[in-house]
Structure formats: C-alpha cells, structure tokens
Chain A
Amino acid sequence: DVKVTQSSRYLVKRTGEKVFLECVQDMDHENMFWYRQDPGLGLRLIYFSYDVKMKEKGDIPEGYSVSREKKERFSLILESASTNQTSMYLCASTSTGTANTEAFFGQGTRLTVV
C-alpha cells in the first residue's frame, strides 16, 4: 500500500521556536508538496519540490522554508513560529510521468503555536 507519512499528527510549539515538519513517501515520486489548510480557505500551497534539492515557492511561502536532501523526504521548516501559523499542514506527493496521476496525501499535522 502506497504511503505518505508525516512525522507527527499533533504538535504544540511556543512562539519563536524553530519547527520542523517531516514527510516521507515510499512511491519514488518526483514531486512533493506542502499545503496549509484553514477553515473556509481550502488548501493553500506553501512550497513545491520537483526534484531533490529543487524547490519552488507556492502561494504562501512567507515564514516557511523547505528542504529536500533525499527524494523520499520533504521537510517544512517554520523559522520562528508565530500564532498565525497555527493550522493543519498536509504533505502530498505525485509522479511526473502520467498527467492524470493523483496526489497522495499524508494524514496531516495539526500544529498549534502558543
């Protein structure tokens, strides 16, 4: 069974902390994504990676950075957490080869910044 695994389901962090959210996929996908989900706003793309060490900003990259040192792992970093980054974070991956291939999602990380 294909899998995208996020390292934590729930996290509570303090304002100003550096926060790491980890995501691992076992499908050898080239493309990986980090989304943020807030009520009424749907899924908003934070960052996208199309290859190892390659990244592209999404719609809301401010306050975030990413790292992709290995093909299977894509990390989201909150440099200095703020309360307005309290949200649900979703990681996803997909292959490049077939245009109608869906995105596969992890179970989500609900982050609370206090």
Chain B
Amino acid sequence: AQSVTQLGSHVSVSEGALVLLRCNYSSSVPPYLFWYVQYPNQGLQLLLKYTSAATLVKGINDFEAEFKKSETSFHLTKPSAHMSDAAEYFCAVRNFNKFYFGSGTKLNVKP
C-alpha cells in the first residue's frame, strides 16, 4: 500500500530563514514523488518531482527536495523564506495511475 506522511500540519518561519517541510513515504515499488503548493482558494501547482535521474531535485521558486531511499524521505527545503511562500504544501506519491497525498503542511512566514 502507498502512503505519505507529512510531519507538522503547521510550520512557522521568519522571512529569510530556512524552510524545511518533511515528507515520508511508504511504497512497495520505486516511488514517483511530488511536491505541490496550494495558495488560498486555488488548485494545486507542481513545485517539483522526483524522476530517479538525481536524488536532489530542484523546483520552482528556489525550492528543492532530496530523495533518501534509506530514510524513505523526500523533504522539501528552501534556503531563504519569502513572504510569498506562505501557502499549504502537499507531498504526493504516484503508484500506477493513482496519486496518494499527505495531509498537508501550512507554512506561515513571519516578517
């Protein structure tokens, strides 16, 4: 069975600080992993995805994620938070043609 766990439903950082959003997955097959961002009253937009070409994946807006098979993790990071990063973030795994989402992490950025 596939599942995704996001630790921390709310994360708060100061502007300019490091952002770290955690995602752990369980998958019986090599995983296809994704991070999405959702702004209020919007759909989900793709931030980045793991394609097995490289363990460190770079996405839009300076976000990146590192795939660690031994830890079954795919944590999202950004070196310096910006006010515009305040949103909800979802980690997802694809198995065949279905997607399984974590419960989401709301990021608050303080001035």
The answer on a CB contact under 8 Å between B94 and A108 is no
The total of chain B residues at the interface (CB under 8 A) is 25
Residues in chain A near residue B98, CB distance under 8 A: 45, 48
Contact B97 A96 (CB under 8 A): yes
New A-B pairs, 15, CB < 8 Å, besides A30-B97, A42-B90, A45-B99: A42-B102, A42-B104, A43-B90, A43-B101, A50-B97, A90-B43, A90-B44, A92-B44, A94-B94, A94-B99, A96-B97, A100-B49, A100-B52, A102-B46, A102-B49
A104 to B51, CA, bound (A): 17
Contact B99 A33 (CB under 8 A): yes
A33 to B101, CA, bound (A): 13
Contact partner, A110, options B41, B50, B51, B99, Cβ 8 Å: B41
Report A-chain residues with C-beta under 8 Å of the C-beta of B46: 102, 104
Give the CA-CA distance A40 to B36 in the complex, in Å: 16
Main secondary structure, interface of A, reads strand
Q: Which residues on A sit within 8 Å (CB–CB) of B52?
A: 100
User: Is A103 part of the contact surface with B, judged by Cβ < 8 Å?
Assistant: yes
Complex: chain B residue closest to A90, CB-CB? B43
How far is the CB of B107 from the nearest CB of chain A, in Å? 15
